Structure 1
Amino acid sequence: MTNRPATDVDAYLQQSSMIRLARQFEQLATGAAQVPRQPVLTRIRNRIADADVLEYHDRLVPKAGPLFSHFLASIPGILEEMSRVGVALSRLSRPRAESSGRPCLLYEIDAFDGSNARTLAAFSGGAVKTLTCSPNKANEEHFDRFADPALSRFVPMSFLKLDQDVLRTLVDDEDFHGGFDYIYETAAFQFYGKDRDFQIEQGCRMLRDDGLVFFLEKLNHTDRLEYERRERVKDEQHKAHYFTLEEIEWKRQQMLLRMYEGEVLLDELVSSIGRHFSHCYLLWNSTNFYEFVASNDGQRIEEFVRLLGPPLIEDQFVFEQPMLRKVLERAHG
């Protein structure tokens, strides 16, 4: 499904879990519910040899808003993974920003209060400037509290409504008017349903021709028992550090059952990615969560992958081997 009229996009949005769960998201974003009982910090610090990854981690955690802190407490290893990817993007961007005379630009799709984007902008010394959107306006307060407006901006709307024309109207920084070098989907698509082709088209319409797009997704599994086994590992060996059993069950009943309705299989996601991009890597896996990077520029994606350090996650959460692998490569066009 492509090129839906604006009225259809409005109807699509109103029927989505992103809107139907707005009250629950408001509770999480304001810290009224599901607040981790201790700060989310890496439990494998002694395994992280790259000092830059540790520095990124140490910048990210203290300035995270309530919903992003909840997100970190909910997904095993995502804190370390975002730190690893952030460092790689910074290293990729600095020489390019210097040679081109312009910053690289990252767009976070429906990414809470922009905690990760703000961290990347600051860590890169402005080599990367960032834009975050979110349909939950409660996130804007925490973005404004910590963001450097010279480097990071926030738009309080769903990615479905945000295109280049809207961006030019809402954001006065002309750096953001020419398209993005990087786009990162922060586990957003599952809240809109299973139509990944349409979601990818809408989310990536502002990506530059040689850009990279990241998909962080919670995926379904052909074996429901295996899916549930991975959920138990996540809940018992990660979430239990931060939430009570009652809080974990509240989340399952209030949100996860609706989220499940929008999850797709790994092969389904890769097929949808392949209808838009010619190259794709699986970068990371944690229980039912997966992260991919895709591009139509083979040289660019290979350069990024070379800059990535080793995966930083405890073995019990990894269910895909090899974790880093090419899942798509073809001649574009």
Structure 2
Amino acid sequence: MTTDSNPAFVDSAMNKLADYFDDLANGRVQVPKQPVTTRIRERIQDDDVRAYHDLLVTQAGPLFSHFLASVPGIVEELSRIGVALDRYTRERRKKDERNFSLWEIDAFDGSSARALAKYSNGAIRTLTNSPNKANQQHFDAHADKEISAFYSGSFLQITEDIVADSLGVDSPFFGVDYLYEMAAFQFYGRNRDEHLRFVSRFLREDGLAFFLEKCNQSDIQEYERRERVKDEKHKSHYFSEAQIAWKREAMLVQMENGQILFSDFVEAASRYFSHIYVIWNGTNFYEFVASNDENSISRFIELLGEPFIPEGFCFESPVVRKLSRP
């Protein structure tokens, strides 16, 4: 079944908002009025994270830049994750010299995955998929195609053969080392069990799966309070009040229809992963890492350290913590 005929895609917000995403990917609407870079550079003492940040933002496509301008603290977080994955991979390659791999799920033009592949000097090869065909032109303009690949289609269309062929993996295919979902599931509805079941089968037994999720709150007033913080303290640096209001009306309702509670995500993820951590928070956005290998995820958490979150956007304490299974 192709993506176009898959009911889960046809009925999704991803499909209904296709024209809007095309405009974003082509830079026709909602273009940030200034480059999106960290505003807390002096707080980031790790030279590697600063270097990764610079690589990440200099080759960002229009839709990815819009994403960075919309999510407070995410540019710093993706830089922290990238450096930690590079360090973790270099450590593992001392015993296993093969190329490692990452599949980035529905992630625009692959800006983040491309940066990781280049930063690791190809030790981590990456595949990005996107159902928005306009993203491919920006991927093609910046990617080193020896170490990064792009698939034009929804994650629902991905097969093991596509992943293996894209990453140059020899058979038999044991899965990718890393998955990263870039806030994509919410555009396909609330059935996280279905989404997680589909992507988890692509992960190696000792692999790490990352999920960036925008979560609902049980108290709607708390959700709206955090949204105001996001809009007034972060997005206002990049968009006018009219642009912020327009997006809220045109797009965010569709997104909220696919969001779920933090606890519901953990419950669903616990059916497929034995170990789950929350590792970052920015207003209503959360980032999780999950694995079925305790040693792998524990070592990654040790290397990861604490997040660099601009003041006023974190509502969790402690931020990095292991989550008990329901």
Q: Tell me the TM-score normalized by structure 2.
A: 0.96
Counting matched residue pairs gives: 325
Residue of structure 2 in register with 1:173 after alignment: 168
Question: Counterparts of 2:31 and 2:94 in 1: how far apart (Å)?
Answer: 41
Selected match of 1:216 from 212, 215, 231: 212
Aligned to 1:171, the other structure's residue is in SS state: helix
Q: In structure 2, which of residues 51, 69, 79 is the aligned counterpart of residue 83 of structure 1?
A: 79
Q: How does 1:27-106 map to 2 (within 5 A)?
A: 27-106=23-102
Indicate if the aligned counterparts of 1:222 and 1:265 stay in contact, CA closer than 8 A: yes
What's the offset of the Cα at 1:9? 7.5
- Contact 1:278 1:328 (C-alpha < 8 Å) held by counterparts: no
Coordinate RMSD, CA, aligned: 1.7
State the distance in 2 between where 1:85 and 1:9 align: 35
Give the 3-state SS of the residue equivalent to 1:282 in structure 2. Answer: strand
Distance 1:326 1:284 in 2: 12
Which deviations, in whole Å up to 9, do the C-alpha atoms of 1:158-182 show, x marking residues without a partner?
A: 11110103445x6372359542000
Paired residue for 1:321?
317
CA contact (8 A) 1:110 1:132 kept: yes
Give the 3 Å change call, closer, same or farther, for CA 175–238 of structure 1 in structure 2. Answer: farther
Q: How does 1:211-290 map to 2 (within 5 A)?
A: 211-290=207-286
Contact 1:9 1:160 (C-alpha < 8 Å) held by counterparts: no
What TM-score does the superposition give when structure 1 sets the normalisation length?
0.94
Shift in CA distance, 175/231, structure 1 to aligned 2, threshold 3 Å:
farther
- CA distance in 1 between counterparts of 2:116 and 2:321 reads 25
- Residue 120 (1) aligns with residue 116 (2): yes
Look up the equivalent residue of 2:218 and give its one-letter code.
T
1:154 partnered with 2:146: no
CA distance in 1, matches of 2:261, 2:325: 19
Paired with 1:73 and 1:6, the residues of 2 have a C-alpha distance of: 33
Separation in structure 2 between the aligned mates of residue 178 and residue 318 of structure 1, nearest angstrom: 37
Distance 2:46 2:304 in 1: 11
Matched, 1:23 2:19: yes
Where in structure 1 are there 5+ consecutive unaligned residues? none
For structure 2, the residue ranges without an aligned partner over 5 or more in a row are none
Give percent identity, aligned residues only.
54
Alpha-carbon displacement from aligned partner over 1:175-230 (angstroms, at most 9, x marks no partner): 59542000000000000000000001112221101100001000000000100000
Shift of 1:96: 2.1
